[in-house]
Structure 1
Amino acid sequence: MKPLESGDPIRLGPYRIHSVLGEGGMGKVYVGQDGEGRVAAVKVLHPHLTHDANLTQRFVREAQMARAVTAGSVARVLDARTEGGRPWIATEFLTGPTLADSVRSHGPFDEPTVRALAAALARALGDIHAAGLVHRDLKPANIVLTATGPRVIDFGIARPEHGLTLTTTGETPITPGYGAPEQVLGRRVGPPADVFSLGAVLVYAASGQHAYEGSHVAAVQYEVVHGTPRLDRVPPALQPLIGPCLAQDPAFRPVPDQIIRYFAPPRGAERVWRKGPIAKDITSHEHRLHQLTTLPAGSAPPPVSRRRLLTGLAVGGSVLAVGGTAAWWNRKAGDGGPFDVPPAVPAPKARVLDAKKGDYVLGETPEPLWKAPSALAEIRVAPLPVRDVLIVAAAKGGIAARSVVDGSVRWSAPDVMAAGLFLSLSDRLVAAVDRDGTLVTFVASTGEPKWASPAQAASLLAADAEAVYVITEDGRVRAIGRSDAKVRWTVKVDADLGEKAASRGLAAQRRLVITAADGSVLALDTSDGRQVWQHRQLTDSGRARADQSDGTLCVTGKQLSAFDLLSGKKHWSTKSPKLPNGDPAFWSSPTIDGRIVYATEVIFPVQIDIRTGKTTDWSYTGLLECDAGSPLVLQGSALWSVASDGKRAAVRALDLSADPQPTWMFPVLENPDQYWLTGDANRVFVLDGTSLSALPVF
């Protein structure tokens, strides 16, 4: 990353620009961050190229091509616009080195890592080809190694499978040595061309050398068409696997599914992305990004001038009627106004325990980090980690923020209705509803009151970078702007939202998804509240449970289903599990980690590929039983849940990093009918009736 220079933009759309990530022949790529704190790679076309219609079309096509791939194997497009005559594309920021960087730093990969790389990239190509596309430029620089595995970037010259090759004068549509022979010759290309590129990538990963070499570009391209690849430095066991990918005749190259089967990485090979030198590089990238995006000049909403504040108050006193121009006010005097929010306090991470260092004795459960008896109200509201504090329903009413380090009370807001739920706003503010239905916000770390809006809210639903979404006292859905506290829109939805906080929501990618009390799952367009799609889900308790990742929404009830977040199109649905007596069972709340969905089927957690809906080879049947209603929490190297029979309950953890996987049981809970788990920063927080504790992770 390089600092900004004269002429670089400071802001593009919702993204504040922090630094230069890279630069190529077509444009610059910047590190941007929106008001919600989400980081993006923002690519901008060079000014001197904007007059070239062909290049501009190619640039716009990149966004269209990447959006067509709905699986998590590529960097997803977050936004694409034209600003000041210059088009730009914002994509998901992938934290980690490129394959090219990693091989240069650490040398060739060992055989298990190459196998894991081959299988992951073959799955990515399968996703791309399933969307009817050909990437056409797979190379080490277009592969980012992340903690969840390799991801493919740069769809700049991607084309539909039936598309012709690019022949614009001066363009080099392929990277020498990685483009297939048919690409070099300017012929029509299909998915086999990407398989050829994959073969060349694997040669580089396994040997540190290019499959085709020459003194100049023409010589390299001649070798691709007429020569043979250099496999002499590739480990012997991998040569017969990589060689077929580089066949000159496309008909003789394997398809991605065959590559996955042939390479068959050994069990646990994917851990290379989480441990070892590559993992350290990924962590280093994450650390640098964290430093860059948590500077005081980060992504807080722009401050409101004192003149604008006084003008707003003069219009109608301290509170204006909702429906006109909703009022906002600073509930406590501050130098920068109610929308001048300080940077978020970093979450202090707890130390991960290690038995080899004597942190605990194998077979014995470590003691909790801290425990606070009688700390909570007797209402079932899940604790909410927000950086260095944990927001809870306070024992004496309202809400309280407790330190994640020792459980002590940092601040409280007694006038807030905890039953109306509370939300984190970019980990900077906590939003809640007071007894008058007013939407109120507090600085997460200190409790300082900030902006508020007379929203007539009964409970909160969700929040994104632009707005907070609430259920009103008369059962409608309302959006309150985060930059001015004004009502953006109010709509009546075709679903029973129930009493108080019976319905829940999540907001992402211009959609507000509501899991209603009557089993309806519906999505509203966050710009105007228009209903985009709706589904029904049979549940055991009225409301379905949902989670989303990269534009895929997973919903549980009688079935576990995956939908496209934007369109509502169903990707897949599981069969309904059955109890021994033949009655239907219900899936627990889904937990998504990268491409994997964890959910409980009857009493056993299962691992499902979010792209296909198929269970993976991972199976812990018999190792870990859990309550069908228990949350599944991933912290440290373990999967945490609660096992309950209605009379007794205990927190259990399954070590995912070991083989075989040992299980741990923490102290028995005293309230098997009133518990909750959540986790953050290497801690697992346990709600047990009115008691709250933090468990260490390993």
Structure 2
Amino acid sequence: MKPLESGDPIRLGPYRVLAVLGAGGMGKVYVGQDGEGRAAAVKVLHPHLSHDANLAQRFVREAQMARAVTGGSVARVLDARTEGGRPWIATEFLTGPTLADAVASHGPLDEPTVRALAAALAGALRDIHAAGLVHRDLKPANIVLTATGPRVIDFGIARPEHGLTLTTTGQVPVTPGYGAPEQVLGQRVGPPADVFSLGAVLVYAASGRPAYEGAHVAAVQYEVVHGEPRLEHVPPALRPLIGPCLAKDPTARPLPEQIAAYAAPPRNAGRVWRQGPLAGDITARADGLHRLTTLPGGVAPRPVSRRRLLTGLAAGGAVLAAGGGGAAWWVLRGEPDGPFDIPPAVPAPKAGILDAAKGDYVLGELPDPLWSVPGALSKESPAPLLAGDVVVTGAPGGGIAARSVVDGAVRWSAPGTTPRGRYLSLSDRLVAAVGRDGSLVTFVASTGAPKWTAPAAEASLLLASDDEAVYLVTEDGKVRAVGRSDARVRWTVGVDADLLAESRARGLAAHGRLVLTVPDGSVLTLDTKTGRTVWRLRDQAEGARPKVALSDRLLCVSGKYLSAVDVVTGKQVWRAENFKPPEGQVFFWGSPTLHGEHLYVSAREVLLRFDLRTGRPSDWPYAGLVQCDPHGPLVVQGNGLWSVAVNRTEGGINVLSLDPENETTWVFRIVRNPEAYWIEGDADRVVLMDGTTLTALPVF
């Protein structure tokens, strides 16, 4: 560790630079301090590498990967941005030696400490893998021993669990002797590779020697692939714990949870980091940091003298490797509060219900739209999403945009997203979307302020959300849950269905169930806590996705059949048996809409009403008299039921009274794009997507 030299920055963002922690081929790591006196390790790219696009991508990924793991087992990313063309990442300052330094200074760890280390690092891998990542470079120099336990640092070559390997055969991505055989050979690398690295780390911690040795790098890597680990200096009691981690076959290695259980650390294992020579080392480094960043009496620091700087550095802490991460910038956008400090929802102002008796419109004549914006949407825009006081659509210039529901004016936009992945409203407080890099990104619904991001989501299509998680389909067609409280991947499962087929899956989440309507015509339901398949209805639609609607636990399913099931158990409650197709024809039920005690649905374009509890047809003045598009939505808003009838060239919106005492009807013949339309309703207005035009209509 060294004092600052000519050419070193004095400040990086909010951090005053105090000293150099380390340097490598890619950049330097400094001791930084913000305006409130908090220390950070600030990793910055060398100036001559700042404009290398490949390094830029790797640097972005490092910040994203580390930020995706929000447990207490890794060094937290505090900030990241570019300053004068130089990108940097700030992480929390960890006061303590690396495992490499600790073993070099104090010799091998004793058995209880190794067991505590194994359990802690297994927990760290569990957190990393739960975020959908593989660290890929776990080694003694990337493990810091703090008073609260070991912490993992440096995500410079971390990758999503299902991402392609970064290397080809013969290239060395990590420190020789710690990368798994499949990593050395350039094969696909998954979580078991980190378990192998953990085994090699534990050999070093228990014996003071590497598990694989050789006269040169190639010899070491040959031993990793073909040789046996050197366990002769490992205490016999620890070999059953460490040996299985070093299996050549990835499938033969234990899971992190199994390692933690088998390690059986001593009771109050946390004390091993707070007693003995190791604890003294941690304390000395903490004192050195305190002297470096404060004046006597604890007042804010002023410029540090060279002598005092050197004194502080002598006991400083190693925090982050400087050479392995690559570089570019990742500009963190957002409000002053944290990414999970979410403001309350802003409700949509009600448009008001028109009343002919009050002169709001003339009977027999149609009221004017509230507003209409031609060219407001992209041609590939999904259905509009009403989220509080905005309506979200695909933007004509790319990404997504949110417009005010009051006048259609653009409120905010997010060009870095892809509308093809759809978007979701999270309790009307956030809008979730898919980033162009497959990340899951969120924005404050009313203002567009960026909030939390899940870089490891690998999202292709958003499905649904509940209070706990956002559910999505990954790029390789699996279902993944991402927590709303921490942006961590909760689980990922493969299902027996092509969720990314042309019509693509849709979903809803409630009562601990994620209901998926699948392009193969089935309804698939997963447990939202585990991803386990709970029940499935097959053959519900012919060559199309079934449609569903939920009222409490009653899930109505339409398609080839019309039925209702208990969403929790999948048990059938009723099925409409009195409607059968003509001989040789397929009967198709349209989108169901629930309102009060009734189910509204079309049967081959004819609009019907059913009793929601029994499935029996219900009296209604318009039953069977109005045609509508069976593939289009039905919307209840104000006192009317809205449906769309289209032909090959144009279409209209039928509005039918729900009040048995009032047979008011409206027909808006305004749909010009029967191949690209949708309607949604909220707060006494109906929003129509008609091609690239967005229109808001009043209600009665």
Give the TM-score normalised by structure 1.
Answer: 0.53
Shift of 1:648: 2.6
Secondary structure in structure 2 of the residue aligned to 1:410: strand
Aligned counterparts of 1:652 and 1:335: Cα–Cα separation in 2: 47
Secondary structure in structure 2 of the residue aligned to 1:659: coil
Aligned counterparts of 1:321 and 1:501: Cα–Cα separation in 2: 30
Using a 3 Å threshold, how does the CA distance of structure 1 residues 333 and 443 change in structure 2: closer, same or farther?
closer
Q: Tell me the alpha carbon deviations over residues 478-508 of structure 1, each in whole angstroms, 9 at most, x when there is no partner.
A: 1101111111100011222133770011000
Aligned counterparts of 1:443 and 1:317: Cα–Cα separation in 2: 29
Shift of 1:569: 0.7
Q: Tell me the alpha carbon deviations over residues 499-535 of structure 1, each in whole angstroms, 9 at most, x when there is no partner.
A: 3770011000100111111112111111111110111
Aligned counterparts of 1:490 and 1:363: Cα–Cα separation in 2: 55
Using a 3 Å threshold, how does the CA distance of structure 1 residues 617 and 387 change in structure 2: closer, same or farther?
same
Shift of 1:618: 2.3
Q: In the alignment, residue 358 of structure 1 is paired with which amino acid?
A: G
Q: In the alignment, residue 487 of structure 2 is paired with which amino acid?
A: A
1:641-652 matches, cutoff 5 A: 641-652=643-654
Secondary structure in structure 2 of the residue aligned to 1:651: strand
CA contact (8 A) 1:520 1:536 kept: yes
Shift of 1:580: 6.4
CA contact (8 A) 2:608 2:624 kept: no
Q: In the alignment, residue 490 of structure 1 is paired with which amino acid?
A: T
Residue correspondences, number: 393
Aligned counterparts of 1:566 and 1:512: Cα–Cα separation in 2: 10
CA contact (8 A) 2:460 2:474 kept: yes
Q: Tell me the alpha carbon deviations over residues 42-96 of structure 1, each in whole angstroms, 9 at most, x when there is no partner.
A: xxxxxxxxxxxxxxxxxxxxxxxxxxxxxxxxxxxxxxxxxxxxxxxxxxxxxxx
2:678: which partner in 1?
A: 676
Aligned counterparts of 1:391 and 1:320: Cα–Cα separation in 2: 34
Using a 3 Å threshold, how does the CA distance of structure 1 residues 642 and 439 change in structure 2: closer, same or farther?
same
Q: In the alignment, residue 78 of structure 2 is paired with which amino acid?
A: L
Aligned counterparts of 1:596 and 1:667: Cα–Cα separation in 2: 27
| Identical pairs, percent | 53
Aligned counterparts of 1:541 and 1:694: Cα–Cα separation in 2: 33
1:396-435 matches, cutoff 5 A: 396-435=397-436
CA contact (8 A) 1:604 1:620 kept: no
Q: In the alignment, residue 445 of structure 2 is paired with which amino acid?
A: A
Shift of 1:578: 5.3
Secondary structure in structure 1 of the residue aligned to 2:78: helix
CA contact (8 A) 2:655 2:667 kept: yes
Q: Tell me the alpha carbon deviations over residues 530-558 of structure 1, each in whole angstroms, 9 at most, x when there is no partner.
A: 11011113424421111111111111101
1:310: which partner in 2?
A: 78
1:474: which partner in 2?
A: 476
**Pick aligned residue for 2:636 from 634, 637, 642:** 634
Q: Tell me the alpha carbon deviations over residues 606-638 of structure 1, each in whole angstroms, 9 at most, x when there is no partner.
A: 222222111112251354321222211000000
Q: In the alignment, residue 337 of structure 1 is paired with which amino acid?
A: G
CA contact (8 A) 2:503 2:545 kept: no
1:98: which partner in 2?
A: none
CA contact (8 A) 1:558 1:576 kept: no
Secondary structure in structure 1 of the residue aligned to 2:499: coil
Shift of 1:375: 0.8
Secondary structure in structure 2 of the residue aligned to 1:598: strand
Using a 3 Å threshold, how does the CA distance of structure 1 residues 316 and 555 change in structure 2: closer, same or farther?
farther
Aligned counterparts of 1:675 and 1:479: Cα–Cα separation in 2: 30
CA contact (8 A) 2:609 2:623 kept: no
Using a 3 Å threshold, how does the CA distance of structure 1 residues 600 and 571 change in structure 2: closer, same or farther?
same
Q: Tell me the alpha carbon deviations over residues 232-290 of structure 1, each in whole angstroms, 9 at most, x when there is no partner.
A: xxxxxxxxxxxxxxxxxxxxxxxxxxxxxxxxxxxxxxxxxxxxxxxxxxxxxxxxxxx
**Pick aligned residue for 1:605 from 607, 625, 637:** 607
1:321: which partner in 2?
A: 159
Give the TM-score normalised by structure 2.
Answer: 0.53
Aligned counterparts of 2:577 and 2:649: Cα–Cα separation in 1: 30
Q: In the alignment, residue 522 of structure 2 is paired with which amino acid?
A: S
RCO higher in structure (CA 8 A, sep ≥6): 2
Using a 3 Å threshold, how does the CA distance of structure 1 residues 687 and 333 change in structure 2: closer, same or farther?
closer
Aligned-residue RMSD, C-alpha:
2.6
Secondary structure in structure 2 of the residue aligned to 1:506: strand
Secondary structure in structure 2 of the residue aligned to 1:356: helix
1:373: which partner in 2?
A: 374
1:204-603 matches, cutoff 5 A: 310=78, 315-316=153-154, 321-323=159-161, 331-379=332-380, 381-454=382-455, 455-499=457-501, 502-575=504-577, 577=579, 583-603=585-605
Q: Tell me the alpha carbon deviations over residues 434-457 of structure 1, each in whole angstroms, 9 at most, x when there is no partner.
A: 111000000000101111012111
CA contact (8 A) 1:556 1:590 kept: yes
CA contact (8 A) 2:607 2:624 kept: no
Aligned counterparts of 1:330 and 1:485: Cα–Cα separation in 2: 18
Shift of 1:600: 0.7
Secondary structure in structure 1 of the residue aligned to 2:357: helix
Using a 3 Å threshold, how does the CA distance of structure 1 residues 500 and 463 change in structure 2: closer, same or farther?
farther
Aligned counterparts of 1:616 and 1:318: Cα–Cα separation in 2: 63
1:72: which partner in 2?
A: none
Aligned counterparts of 2:533 and 2:582: Cα–Cα separation in 1: 40
CA contact (8 A) 1:421 1:501 kept: no
Shift of 1:424: 0.6
CA contact (8 A) 1:331 1:450 kept: no
Shift of 1:584: 2.1
**Bigger-Rg structure (1/2):** 2
Higher mean displacement: 674-683 or 660-669: 660-669
Aligned counterparts of 1:358 and 1:342: Cα–Cα separation in 2: 39
Q: In the alignment, residue 363 of structure 1 is paired with which amino acid?
A: G
Q: Which runs of 5+ in 2 are unaligned?
A: 1-69, 80-89, 93-152, 162-190, 195-329
Aligned counterparts of 1:426 and 1:567: Cα–Cα separation in 2: 26
Aligned counterparts of 1:383 and 1:613: Cα–Cα separation in 2: 31
Higher mean displacement: 617-626 or 400-409: 617-626
Aligned counterparts of 1:432 and 1:693: Cα–Cα separation in 2: 23
